[in-house]
Amino acid sequence: MKTGELEKILKILEREYKKWDVPVVTMIAERTHDPWKILVSTVLSGRTKDEVTWKASERLFSHAKTPEELLSLPVKTIEKLIYPVGFYRTKAKRLKELARAVVENYKGKVPDNLDELLKLPGVGRKTANLVLIHAFDKDGVCVDTHVHRISNLWGFVKTKTPEETEFELRKKLPRKWWKLYNDILVAFGQAICRPVKPRCEECPVKDLCPVKSRQGA
Ligand code: SF4
């Protein structure tokens, strides 16, 4: 798929995607505009349903709003507050390490550039890009499983890992789409272009979809 064709699809999906569920980290970002809370909810959201992430974030923030406050909580308390998010024990430890790093190395403020974010314990490229976009309104290319899958499905990239997809998108995707690309494709990938049983008949871009046209529909 060429860039022009992808942009036609994105223009349609840009109008449609708010009808579907907006990713939980985006909702938390829109409500709080707080880089620390956005970073924490991104960590909590891994392998966890949005609704569970939302409630766990609320419980945790009602006890600890800042990295300093989180650092003062015992790991066991953090575990209880974030249960039942996926891997809650590991995440509780990781959140405490994260809080310590932010307090000790960055004076309690989440850093606002990719290289520094990637130095934080347990922060990978997906989390760092998402924080950059939502917390600091900076350009980032956040590639989660839906972005990786759908970008390959359409043939816009031909990559094996989300990291390769990020680097390809940084070369090929026009910069004006960088911030929105993740939100649009996550909502679209959860609601319509699902990994199992995609809802092609209801898909607003089915006439432009190379997969659908290959199926002769
Ligand atoms: S037509 Fe089907 S495969 Fe193509 S983008 Fe839409 S849901 Fe996905």
43-53 residue pLDDT tens: 999 888 989 99
Q: Which atom number of ligand 1 is nearest to the Cα of residue 209?
A: 4
pLDDT band for 2, please (50, 70, 90 cuts): very high
> If DSSP codes are grouped into helix, strand and coil, which group holds residue 63?
helix
Number of C-beta neighbours around residue 190 at 10 A: 15
Residues 143 and 169 sit within 8 Å (Cβ to Cβ): yes
List, in order of start, the domains of the chain with CATH numbers.
3-20+141-214 (1.10.1670.10), 24-136 (1.10.340.30)
Residues 129 and 166 sit within 8 Å (Cβ to Cβ): yes
pLDDT band for 38, please (50, 70, 90 cuts): very high
* Residue 217 in this model has a pLDDT that exceeds 70: no
**Of 24-28, 63-67, 70-74, 132-136, where does mean pLDDT reach its minimum?**
24-28
pTM of the model: 0.89
Q: What are the residue ranges of helices labelled H in the chain?
A: 3-16, 24-32, 35-45, 50-63, 67-71, 75-82, 88-106, 114-119, 125-136, 145-153, 162-172, 178-191, 210-214
- Looking at ligand 1, which residue's alpha carbon is closest to its atom 4? 209
Q: Which atom number of ligand 1 is nearest to the Cα of residue 210?
A: 4
